[in-house]
Structure 1
Amino acid sequence: MAERDIPDWFTRAEEAFDPVHQRVAAAIKSHGLPTHLSLAPQEAVYFFVHAMEIAYEANKAGIHANALSQTRYCIEALAIIELGMCRTNGREAILEDWLKGKASPGKIRQWLAREVWPSYGAGLWSESWEDFMAKLAGAVQPYAHYTSQLAQWQSRLHFANPGESTACIESGPIVYDPQKATRITLYHSILNYTLGRIWLANCGSEDTKFYGIVSRLGDALGKSRYLDGHQTNWDQQFWAMVWDRRTGSPHLE
């Protein structure tokens, strides 16, 4: 990728990566949870980071379907990390239920939406944090299992002609698709932005320097050509086959 082709969100994501993860790691160590619950959010951080590392390497190698499958795990770990950082009454009970297998990821997100998220403010644009998180989870929910939708991430779209219902698609054991690789990297950047926002909401209201880093990342993500903004369902930009309707090219203008 030539320097002039590097999107602003990619540069901002690199700037934010270490500050986000350093702060989250430190916050999880001072979670204020009783001993029998204390390991859960710490292990969720390890899982989140390792899943993203595996996804990053697979994505770089052109193994996009496997990268996306690993990426989906990060959403469920994110909820447990958040329980470790928030100080809202009831978090210990919901975490205990999760450890006993009585609270699904969906149930935890419902609790967060009711008890925690209203104080977070807007998401990437002007939508509520609950709506933002619904889109974030919905973008990768179809890839929970090996389905035809996930299998489409194993091929490369070269050209589409919707008017004639034709397309040129390359398939093989490993097929690197620059557009798919970029969109998965974009999703990883949104996840790290989300982590940063969660930390700010629960731990760092006075950290103005970090607030600036996260805000710049959010602004850049919101302007990405691969997200069509809060006016429509931006999560659909993480379908396997996305192209410019005017040209048929997978490289969006």
Structure 2
Amino acid sequence: MKENVPEWFSLSEELTSSVMKRISHAAQACELSVSVRSAPMLAHWFLLDSMLLANQASREGMHANALSLTRQCLEALSVIELGICGHRDAESTLEKWDNDSLSPGKLRTWLEQNVWGSYGSGLWKEPWATFMREFAAALQPYAHYCTKLAQWQVRLVPGSPQKNSDGGLTAIMEMRPRAYDPQKATRITLFHAILTYTLGRIWMANNQADAEFRANITRLGAALGKSRYLDGHQTNWGQQFWAMMWSTDGSTVLE
């Protein structure tokens, strides 16, 4: 592993292709009625394209746009999961979604009540339902253009914040079009790694996984859970998507 490259990044780079291939096969092979059979497959295509566009936008400094696209990935993930979970009522529930009579939030509630109980724990020791509920709630504000999303458009100048004589901190923000911020770019990549990990866990819960794949997904989850960007290594997801994060020494690029 290269120096200064976090383990979660290397593992995500290594595993993304194998996770997406498994999800693609499962989404295309699901036994559903003709009216909704294509929904999980289309949702997976949408997720892949959204992640691609988000990565491109983030590399060019459009971090707010990238985060907004990442929010949409979560909605697509729920449709994918509904299609491949194998629950006896999944098809009728997917038909309600297809008829616009089931909101994304209600869809996740159905998954929580009927599917997630068998998935085990999330990134830490919290139940999977808690992990998914908090993950979705933390991303929810970025479904629309708002103050929180606008904060992702500005760049925290390197070396900032600095401690004042009174013990406070002074931060310098740069405002310009496409203000590239390495911290924000890294965190967008981290959020995508969490999506990859989540898809891997969903597939494992509904398919027989070989020992190597299962071990690698477990390693990815452990590495993600240790990232200093996931503030406090706990389920306080409301803090995970703050636009600005820094350590007590003022550094902004963590791991």
Q: TM (normalized to structure 1)? A: 0.94
- Matched positions, count: 250
Residue 176 of structure 1 corresponds to: 180
Question: Is 1:160–2:161 an aligned residue pair?
Answer: yes
Contact 1:85 1:203 in 2 (8 A): no
Question: Is 1:250–2:252 an aligned residue pair?
Answer: yes
How far 1:214 moved relative to its partner?
A: 0.7
How far 1:134 moved relative to its partner?
A: 1.5
Which piece of structure 1 moves more, 225-234 or 65-74? 225-234
Residue 202 of structure 1 corresponds to: 206
Question: Is 1:222–2:221 an aligned residue pair?
Answer: no
Which structure 2 residues correspond to residues 49-88 of structure 1 after superposition, within 5 A?
49-88=48-87
Aligned match for 2:215, one of 212, 224, 228 = 212
Contact 1:157 1:169 in 2 (8 A): yes
Distance in structure 2 (CA, Å) of the matches to 1:229 and 1:126: 14
Which structure 2 residues correspond to residues 25-174 of structure 1 after superposition, within 5 A?
25-158=24-157, 159-160=160-161, 164=168, 166-174=170-178
Distance in structure 2 (CA, Å) of the matches to 1:230 and 1:160: 23
Q: Deviations over 1:190-225 (max 9, x none)?
A: 000000000000122x42121012111111111111
Contact 1:127 1:230 in 2 (8 A): no
Q: Deviations over 1:105-141 (max 9, x none)?
A: 0001000000000000001111000111012212221
Contact 1:44 1:78 in 2 (8 A): yes
Q: Deviations over 1:128-170 (max 9, x none)?
A: 0011101221222111111111111111112235854632001
Which piece of structure 1 moves more, 208-217 or 67-76? 208-217
Distance in structure 1 (CA, Å) of the matches to 2:240 and 2:97: 31
Question: Is 1:190–2:194 an aligned residue pair?
Answer: yes
Distance in structure 1 (CA, Å) of the matches to 2:101 and 2:83: 18
Unaligned runs of at least 5 residues, structure 1: none
Question: Is 1:238–2:227 an aligned residue pair?
Answer: no
Identity of aligned residues (%): 52
How far 1:243 moved relative to its partner?
A: 1.7
How far 1:231 moved relative to its partner?
A: 3.5
Distance in structure 1 (CA, Å) of the matches to 2:236 and 2:220: 20
Contact 2:86 2:206 in 1 (8 A): yes
1:36 counterpart SS class: coil
Aligned-residue RMSD, C-alpha = 1.7
Q: TM (normalized to structure 2)? A: 0.93
Distance in structure 2 (CA, Å) of the matches to 1:169 and 1:240: 12
